[in-house]
Amino acid sequence: GENVEQHPSTLSVQEGDSAVIKCTYSDSASNYFPWYKQELGKRPQLIIDIRSNVGEKKDQRIAVTLNKTAKHFSLHITETQPEDSAVYFCAARSQAAGNKLTFGGGTRVLVKP
């Protein structure tokens, strides 16, 4: 089955700096890659996603890149703000695997004011 690895597990950045989280996946049939943000005690919220037919997608201060050949994708947050502090999860979905999402282990991001 699909295996998703996520790094780093924790990330501390200064407010205004950029944050980058990287994920790798194992199933070459995976074609949808969402990113979720989970604040303490709350549900995971979808913040951005990318499909395998594009290499990059941007939404204001967040962007995601996908390298299908290398089977990795990354989340980039620019001009970080304290409210970006949360746990971020990447995931991969494959139609061949019944369209189920496999999640990475999460990255705890702390933005220091």
- Cα-based torsion angle of the residue sequence 75, 2, 28, 104 in order, rounded to the nearest 10 degrees: 10
Name residue, tokens 């996520």.
6
Count of residues binding other proteins (CB under 8 A)? 20
We find the least distance from the C-beta atom of residue 15 to other proteins, in angstroms, to be 25
We find the least distance from the C-beta atom of residue 36 to other proteins, in angstroms, to be 8
- Give residues 73-92 in contact with other proteins (rule: CB under 8 A): 89
The radius of gyration of the chain from alpha carbons, rounded to an integer in Å, stands at: 14
Residue placing its CB nearer to other proteins in the complex, 16 or 105: 105
Cα separation, 104 vs 65, whole angstroms: 16
Binding mask 28-47 for other proteins (x = CB under 8 A): ----x-x-x-----xxxxx-
Residue placing its CB nearer to other proteins in the complex, 32 or 71: 32
We find the least distance from the C-beta atom of residue 2 to other proteins, in angstroms, to be 10
Q: Give me the sheet containing 19-25, strands edge to edge.
A: 4-7, 19-25, 72-77, 62-67, 56-59
Residue of 37, 104, 109, 111 that binds other proteins (CB under 8 A): 104
Question: Residues 40-49: contacts with CB within 8 Å, 24+ apart?
Answer: 40/86, 44/89, 47/88, 48/75
Counting contacts by CB under 8 A, is residue 53 touching other proteins? Answer: no
